[in-house]
Amino acid sequence: MDPRSTRRLLTGLLVVLLAGCTLARSGQDSRSAGPSTTSAPATSAPPGTAAGAPTPAGLREAVTVEGIRAHLVALQAAADRHDGNRAAGSPGYDASVDYVVSQLRAAGYTPEVQRFQASQFRERNRPVLELADRGGTDLELDGDHRTFEFSGSGDVTAPVQPVDLRLPPGQAPDSSTSGCEPPDFTGFPRGAVALLQRGTCPFRAKVDNAQRAGAAAAVIFNEGQAGRTEVPAGTLGGPGITLPVLAVSFQIGQRLAAAGTDQRLRVRTDTESTGRPTSNVLVELPGADPDRVIMAGGHLDSVAAGPGINDNASGSATLLEIARQLAGTRPTHTIRFAWWGAEELGLLGSRHYVAGLDDAERERIALYLNLDMVGSPNFRRLVYDGDAQGAPAGSEVVERVLTSQLRGEGLAVGETAPGNGSDHAPFAAAGIPVGGLFTGADETKSTEDQTAFGGTGGPADPCYHDRCDDLDNLDLEVLDQMADAAATAIATFARDTDPVDRAG
């Protein structure tokens, strides 16, 4: 029997065994284990307490792996019905959103579907910036330029037209307002290359104005103060610009400005920008204290290559079951769950969400817990390192709660530097304490990891970002353990965020 078939058989046996346990326990359980679209569990007693804040033990008891697996089956079916994947912007993703929303509604919640544009940019060829008539001064343009993200495509040779430049530059950054106001382009010769200086308004505002004024291309140079001399790495924020737009250093900008309008410049870019509508799902369980919110989330989208069951239906289904089991409880602090869209396209959903928070809303969020890949078949059992570089103060408290729960069950636990590869990153960048669980992706397991966690020396998830990341690509036992750790952290912080707040 090949290893996958063996695993499938073992997984099947585990499900049967666990189902047996549930039946034996069902007399004590206050709520049903499996999801239901017809009855709302909000009417039964909340886990671990008659009325009020859920307890960690009560929530752990209520959240079962069979409950989680039912959601995984539904998400696999969403992929199976729609080209085998659940990628952002695809029908398989929308079906996943529909499932999560219907489950939440059935549990008595009022979920919010937050729509946004998932924009992507690709550069097909390197950009070109050169003087068309090299007769006079040699401006040494080669190599000192870069394409703006979401630049349009084109190959333009035209005279340069400076636009309201501030030369020499002002003392402080944002002294230049070059191109920020439509009147800056009064008398602009249509078809020229707009020469713009960084400063005051977004790059996109300058380029929108240039495009409206009939520019054939735009070149934006850095503003010129200390720290603002190199070629800027900028973005135009999203699709919609048809002009080629290049960034150059302050030095090149200055030389182009001095060269005069009879210099013709060649500007060439070869790019592709796309924008497709997609969404996040958010739901809130109001707490008695409106000032502190604990958030838990994971990405609901898959890569286009496959159904994304370990990555990340595993986290999505776990969160959904925890939310379902919490319905009807009254925690001390508000609990907000998020299922993110377009993570696989660059954390777009979580970035969109965090970027949309005002200061007061951001400060209300005590912590963010991320679940991404929590059922890897050849697992490691990892908790995000709260002391890692870039982890805001307070993150170590989240790590401690997750680790204690797992160690308390006699399980081996390791740490992982969370990095910027999943949806905790925008929260950490905004100064919000973060934590998370991870059971491994395509990295090869070391001998130490094999000793600690068992399994083989291959990758933790041999089907990572592949079409075989299906219902068989899971270890349900580790998934159950991770669900217990997540439930513990959510119930613990829903009762008391002080330890995180004091550290932060």
Q: How far apart are CA 282 and CA 337, in angstroms?
A: 6
Q: Does 373 bind ligand BES (CB under 6 A)?
A: yes
Nearer to Zn ion, 254 or 314 (CB): 314
- 140 assigned to active site: no
Q: 3-state class of 324 per DSSP?
A: helix
Minimal distance, residue 17 CB to ligand BES, in Å: 29
Residue in this structure with the two tokens 């209520």, named with its chain if needed: 62
Among 441, 452, 468, 503, binds ligand BES (CB under 6 A): 441
Minimal distance, residue 110 CB to Zn ion, in Å: 27
Nearer to ligand BES, 164 or 466 (CB): 466
Q: Which position among 61, 343, 344, 396 bears the catalytic label?
A: 343
3-state secondary structure 453-495: HCCCCCECCCCCCCCCCCCCCCCHHHHHHHHHHHHHHHHHHHH
Nearer to Zn ion, 213 or 300 (CB): 300
Look at residues 323, 272, 296 and name the one whose alpha carbon lies nearest to residue 122.
272
Judged on CB neighbours under 10 Å (0-12, 13-18, 19+), 461 is buried
421 binds, among ligand BES, Zn ion, none (CB under 5 to 8 A by kind): ligand BES
Among 346, 408, 431, 454, binds ligand BES (CB under 6 A): 346
Q: Does 191 bind ligand BES (CB under 6 A)?
A: no
**DSSP track, 258-292:** HH-TT-EEEEEEEEEEEEEEEEEEEEEE--SEEEE
271 contacts: CB under 8 Å, gap ≥ 6: 121, 122, 123, 124, 147, 150, 151, 152, 153
What is the distance in angstroms between the CA of the first residue and the CA of the last residue of the chain?
A: 52
Q: Does 317 bind ligand BES (CB under 6 A)?
A: no
Q: Does 311 bind ligand BES (CB under 6 A)?
A: yes
Binding site residues, Zn ion, CB under 5 A: 311-312, 372
438 binds, among Zn ion, ligand BES, none (CB under 5 to 8 A by kind): ligand BES
Q: Does 421 bind ligand BES (CB under 6 A)?
A: yes
503 close to 392: Cβ distance less than 8 angstroms: no
Backbone φ and ψ of 296, nearest 5° = -135, 135
Q: Does 391 bind ligand BES (CB under 6 A)?
A: no
Q: Does 422 bind ligand BES (CB under 6 A)?
A: yes
459 contacts: CB under 8 Å, gap ≥ 6: 378, 440, 441, 442, 443, 444, 445
Q: Does 438 bind ligand BES (CB under 6 A)?
A: yes
Minimal distance, residue 306 CB to ligand BES, in Å: 12
Q: Does 277 bind ligand BES (CB under 6 A)?
A: no
> Catalytic site residues?
343
Binding site for ligand BES (CB under 6 A): 311-312, 343-344, 346-347, 372-373, 419, 421-422, 438, 441
